[in-house]
Structure 1
Amino acid sequence: MKSNILLLASALAASVIAAPASTYTVHERRSAQSASKWVKRDEPLDSRAIVPVKIALTQCNLGNGHGWLMDVSDPSSENYGQHWTTEKITETFAAEETTVTSVTTWLTSSGISEDRITVSNSKSWIRMDLTIAEAESLLKTEYKMYEHTESAKRSLAVDEYSVPASISKHINFITPTVQHLTATRHFQPAKPARKSEVAEVQKLDSSVAWDLSNCGHNITRACIQALYNMPNGTHSKSSLAVVELNDQVFNPTDLSDYMNTFVTGKKVPDTSIYVMSDTIFNKTLETSESKTGEGNLDVMLTYGLVYPQPIIYYQIGDFNLCGVGGKNGTFQISAPAACPYVTAVGSTEIPSGGSVKDAEHATNAFASGGGFSNQWALPKYQEKAMEYYYKNYAPEYTSKQYNNTQKVRGYPDIAANGNNIVIYEQGSLTRKDGTSASAPIVASLFSLINGERFAAGKGPVGFVNPVLYADPGAMNDIVTGSNPGVGTEGFECVEGWDPVTGLGTPDYGKLLKAFMALK
C-alpha cells in the first residue's frame, strides 16, 4: 500500500484537462446511519497524499452463488464437502472482459497510466494508488477527514461520488469513498502518542498457578480446552488464517513467552507463523505499546490452541471498514456478523470465582453483540431455530428498536469465552476481553476438526453454519444473561438459539463426531 509517486501541480492540472467529457451519474451516497456517527472535520488535506483506491467490478453469476455454496455446505446435500478450487471460483465469478476493459479504458483516458493500474487475479478488483487530487478529479467529489463520535477514529471519506453513466453498470463500488475506512500510517503519519494516551498494561502476578483452579478469574489455554472439550493439536497438515483488518500486529517475543508458559514449556520459534505483510517485524511496530494488543490476542489464542498447525497471518491495516452505530434507541447492527454467510461469534464468561464445571453465561464485562439484520433475509438453515425462538421467546421490543418481521437473519450463531483471557503483552502477563477473543477460539476449534478430517482423507469443514443448525445438540446451551444497550436490557439468553449467544458454546467432541460423519 506504499507509493512514492507525487505529481506536481502542473501535471495534476494537465491530467484534469485531459480527462474526456462524459455524462456522470452519482454512484453512491453516504447513508444517514453512517453520517450520524461521523463528524466532518474542517481541516485541510494534502492533495498530494497517496490514497490506495480499489474498484470492485461487477462480477458474473453472483445470483447463483448462494445455491452453489449451500450445495457443498448443507449436510443433507449429496455434494457436501466438494468445495470448489480457487481456479473454478475465479473462472465462475470473474468480471466479464468487457467490464475490465471498459473500466480500465475510463481510467487511462482520465490520465492514469496503465502501469499504475493493477487488475486482481480474480478479475474482480482494480487497484491503483492515486493522490487525493487525482481521486477527486476522477470521481467528481471532495475528500474530507471524518471523526467517529464515540471511538475518535479518523476516516477519509466523501459524501457522494460519481462515475460515467456508461460504465456505472460495470462497477459495484469504489473505496475509499462513502465507506468509513480508518486512516492509518500509510495515509497520514500518526502523531507520537503522549504517555497518557498509551494504555498501560495491567500486569498479572506471574507466580499464580496457571491451572484450572483459577479459571474463574484468569482464562488460560487450559481453561479453554476444559470448557470446550478441546484436545491438544496433533496434526500439522491443516492451517489457520488470522486476518488483522486494522494496523495491529503481534509481538514475536510475547508469542514465544506465551508458548513457553502455556503450551510447550519452551520458547517456540515463530517459523510456523507465515506473515503476509512486509511491515510485521518492523522494530517500531513490534515494540509499540499501542499496536500489539489485538494482534497478540489473536495469534496467541489461535497458535496456542492449534499448535503444531501453522498460522498464516494477514496484516491488512491501511484503510479498513469501521462499524456504524445506531441512534435514537435503535439497536446497532454489526457488520459483517449480520451477514448469513458469516459464522458470527458471541461472548460468554465463567461466573466470577467459578470453575470450568460451572455453566457459562453471557458476558457481563461488556455487551456481547447480537440481534437481527436490517438487510439479509432469514437463511433456510436458520429457519427452524428462529421459528422456535419467536414462538416461545419473541422480544417485546418494537419495530423502532429492531427488525421484528421474523423474516430476517439473526446473529450470532455460536459463542465462546471472551472475558479475562490471559496473554502476554510487552513482556508481561495481562488479561484481555472481547468477542475478539471468542472468535479465535471458535476458529481454532474448527481448525482442529479440519486436521482430523484431513487425516481421514476428507476435505475441510468449509462454511459451518448449516451443520451447526442441523445439530444444535453439539453446543452447550447458554440460558443466562443478556446484551444490554441503548437504555434497555437488550436481548436475553433463552433455551435454544438466542440473539446473545446463538446456539451456545461448542463441544469439540460432539462437533467432531458430527463433522467426521459427513463426507
Structure 2
Amino acid sequence: MLLLLPTLIGLVVAASIPPSIPHETLEVIPDGWKLHSTAEDSQTIALQISILHHHTDYLDIAHDVSNPESANYGNYLGAEELEASLPEYQRSAAEVVSWLNNHAISKTTLDGDWLHFETTVGQAKELLGADFMYYQHGSDDPVLRTRKYDIPIHLRDAIDFIYPTTHFMRPKWPAKMHLLPRQHIPTGPVTCATSICPKNLTAKYNITHVPADSNSGSQLGIGGFLEQYPDHKVVQQFLKDYGLRHHDKPYKYKVTLINGGKDPNIPAKSGAEALLDVEYGMAIADSLPVTYFSTGGRPARTPSQPGNKVVPRNESGNEPWIAFLQHILKMKSPPQVLSLSYTDDELDVPLPYARKVCSLCAQLAARGVSVIVASGDGGSAGTTTKDCKGPNGKLRFIPTFPASCPWVTTVGATNDYGVAHYSSGGFSNYFARPKWQDKAVSGYRTLLNGSHMAWYNKTGRAYPDVALAGSGYLTAGGGATYQQKGTSASTPVFAAMVALLNDKRLRAGKPVLGFLNPLLYKNEGMFRDVTEGDTDGCEVGSEVEVGFGASKGWDAASGLGEPDFAKLLKVLT
C-alpha cells in the first residue's frame, strides 16, 4: 500500500491544478524579429495583467457627451464619476490574485484594472505554460517574450491579456529629421523664407484668434516617450526668435514625470522630436499652459546580455501607452487636448492590447479630452518596410496604431502641391468604421471604383481625419537650426489650434470640444479640400502598388483636408 502513496499524491496534486487553455498565440513572430538567446530561469521578469471588462457603459457615455445633437453634449465626467461608470473588476482581480498566490507570487499591485507583479522566468514558464526567450529586432536590445501562453480555464472571463508576453512591439516616432547646414541660431526669423515657421502657419491656416487667456482653463498636453526630452533654454530661445508674440514674462512649459520618466533639462540631451512638439505646440498655443509628459518605459532589456544597458526592474517591460493614458485619466484637471506624435504598425500591436489602449482613449473622450495623434510617415505601407506583408504573408496596406483607433483624431501631412507622399492613411484591420464617418468614407470608396480592393479592409475605421503642412519645419536646438518633416510636425500644430478653440469656448462659458470627430465630419466646410497627390505604396517585386490618393471630399490620404482656423472658430465657438 505504501508503494502507491506517491501515485496518490500525484493524483491529488494534478487534480488541484485547474485545467489551462491557450490565451494568446503567435504562429510566426513579426517581420524583423529573430530569436536571440535562451533565458536563465533565475532572470527576473515584470508582468502586468489586464483585467477583463464585462460591460461598456463608459462607451455609451463617451458617445453621448461627444454627440453635438445630444442634450448631454459637453457634460463630461470627472475622474471619480468615470471610475464609477467603469465595470466592476474587483472580483475578477481577486480571482487572479488568488491564482498568483497559489503559485507563491504574493507581491502584487492593482492599479485600476491593471495588475502588476514580478516573478522569475522559471516561475513564469510554470505559471503560464510559456517558453520565454530573448528576441531581438535589428540592433535593438533583446527582450523577453514568448510566442504563446496559457491561463486557467476558470480565469478566461477575468483576464484580458498578460503583458509583455506575445507583444512584439517597437514604439517609434514618425518624424524624420533633416539637418540644415550648421549655423548659429539667427537673431530673427530670417530663415523662415525657406522653411516653415510659426508665422507661416498662422498665415496659411488663418489663425487670427486674439491672444489667448492663460487663465481661461484651456490646457495643452504633449506626450513624450523613448527618452525624448525638450530643454527649457532651447525652447525659450526658439520662442524669442520665431514666436508669434513678445511675452513680458517667460512663457514656460511644465514637465510631469510618468512611469520613471526623466527631465534632464540639458541641451545636449534634448531630442529632435521633443523640441519639435514643444516649440510648435507652444508657439501656436500662444500663452496657454503646456505640459510635457515625460513617460518612461520600453520593452524589457536584460543586463545579462553583453553590451546591453541595465534598466531598473521597475522600468523593464513597461509599455508607456497604458501608463501614460492611465495617468491622464486619474488627473483631476487633465489637459483638454493631448498631442501624440508616436505610432506603430497596427499588425505589430496585439489586438487585445490595441483594444485596451483604444478603450482608454474612449474614457478620455468621456472626460472631455481631445486626443490628437500622428498618422505616421510610411504612406500606405505603415512604418517599417515597403513589402506590405500582413500577418499571414498576404500583401496588404499596413494601417498604423493608435492612428486607427476610432476615439482619436488622426492628423496627416501635406506639402505645397497636395498630400505629402510619406503621410500614412488607410483602413483599420482591428476597428470597425464608426457611424460618424460612414457617409464621407463611402463617397471615397465609390471614387476608388474597385482600386486597391484586395489591399485594405473596406469596413475598417478610416483615417486620417485632417491634414496640415508637414515638411520643412524649422526647429532650433544645440546651437543649430534643423528642418524636420513628418506627421509629428503637423500634429502638435493642430492640437494647439484645438486648445485655442477651447480657450474661446471657455471664456464664453461653454464646455471644451472634447472628442472632435463627430463635430468635424458634420462640418466639412471648415476644411480646405486637398485633391492632389498620392501616398507611398508597396513594392511588389519590380512593381509598385501606389498608395491611397487625394480626391474631392474625404480621402485616405488627407482626410477632410486642411483646417481653416477662422472657420473653425466661427462654427465651433
Residue 343 of structure 1 contacts residue 465 of structure 1 at CA under 8 Å; is this kept in 2?
A: yes
Cα distance, 1:312–1:59 mapped onto 2, change above 3 Å: farther
Task: Give per-residue Cα distances to partners, 1:407-440, cap 9 Å, x unaligned.
Answer: 3321111111211111123232111111111211
For residue 195 of structure 1, what is the aligned residue in structure 2?
Answer: none
For residue 354 of structure 1, what is the aligned residue in structure 2?
Answer: none
1:25 pairs with one of 14, 21, 25: 21
- Give 1:3-14 correspondences, 5 Å limit: none
For residue 218 of structure 2, what is the aligned residue in structure 1?
Answer: 238
1:210 aligns to 2:189 (yes or no) = yes
Unaligned runs of 5+ in 2: 1-12, 299-318, 322-343, 349-383, 539-543
Shift of 1:446: 0.7
Secondary structure of the 1:180 match is coil
Cα distance, 1:349–1:395 mapped onto 2, change above 3 Å: farther
Secondary structure of the 2:401 match is coil
Residue 248 of structure 1 contacts residue 317 of structure 1 at CA under 8 Å; is this kept in 2?
A: no
For residue 57 of structure 1, what is the aligned residue in structure 2?
Answer: 51
2:264 pairs with one of 273, 282, 288: 282
Shift of 1:393: 3.6
Task: Give per-residue Cα distances to partners, 1:475-499, cap 9 Å, x unaligned.
Answer: 1111111112212221110010000
Task: Give per-residue Cα distances to partners, 1:346-374, cap 9 Å, x unaligned.
Answer: 111225xxxxxxxxx1114xx11011122
Shift of 1:225: 1.5
1:371 aligns to 2:348 (yes or no) = no
> More deviation in 205-214 or 136-145?
205-214
For residue 113 of structure 2, what is the aligned residue in structure 1?
Answer: 124
For residue 31 of structure 2, what is the aligned residue in structure 1?
Answer: 37
Secondary structure of the 1:362 match is coil
- Give 1:303-322 correspondences, 5 Å limit: 303-319=282-298, 320=319, 322=344
1:467 pairs with one of 506, 519, 523: 519
Secondary structure of the 1:229 match is coil
Shift of 1:65: 4.1
1:232 and 1:208 map into 2 onto residues whose CA distance is 26
Shift of 1:252: 2.5
Task: Give per-residue Cα distances to partners, 1:359-394, cap 9 Å, x unaligned.
Answer: xx1114xx1101112232221100111222223343
2:292 and 2:192 map into 1 onto residues whose CA distance is 33
- Give 1:90-239 correspondences, 5 Å limit: 90-113=83-106, 116-120=107-111, 123-148=112-137, 155-182=143-170, 201-203=179-181, 205=183, 206-207=185-186, 210=189, 214=193, 217-230=194-207, 231=209, 233-236=211-214, 237-239=217-219
2:441 pairs with one of 372, 383, 386: 386
For residue 9 of structure 1, what is the aligned residue in structure 2?
Answer: none
1:72 aligns to 2:51 (yes or no) = no
Secondary structure of the 2:409 match is coil
1:300 and 1:464 map into 2 onto residues whose CA distance is 24
Cα distance, 1:226–1:52 mapped onto 2, change above 3 Å: farther
Moved >6 Å (runs of 4+): none
Residue 233 of structure 1 contacts residue 305 of structure 1 at CA under 8 Å; is this kept in 2?
A: no
Aligned length: 457
1:155 and 1:267 map into 2 onto residues whose CA distance is 49
Residue 74 of structure 2 contacts residue 512 of structure 2 at CA under 8 Å; is this kept in 1?
A: yes
Residue 412 of structure 2 contacts residue 468 of structure 2 at CA under 8 Å; is this kept in 1?
A: yes
Unaligned runs of 5+ in 1: 1-16, 185-198, 352-360
Shift of 1:159: 0.5
TM-score by length of 2: 0.73
Shift of 1:50: 4.9
Shift of 1:104: 1.6
> More deviation in 152-161 or 438-447?
152-161
1:402 pairs with one of 447, 456, 460: 456
1:183 and 1:73 map into 2 onto residues whose CA distance is 29
RMSD between superposed Cα atoms in Å: 2.9
Secondary structure of the 2:475 match is strand
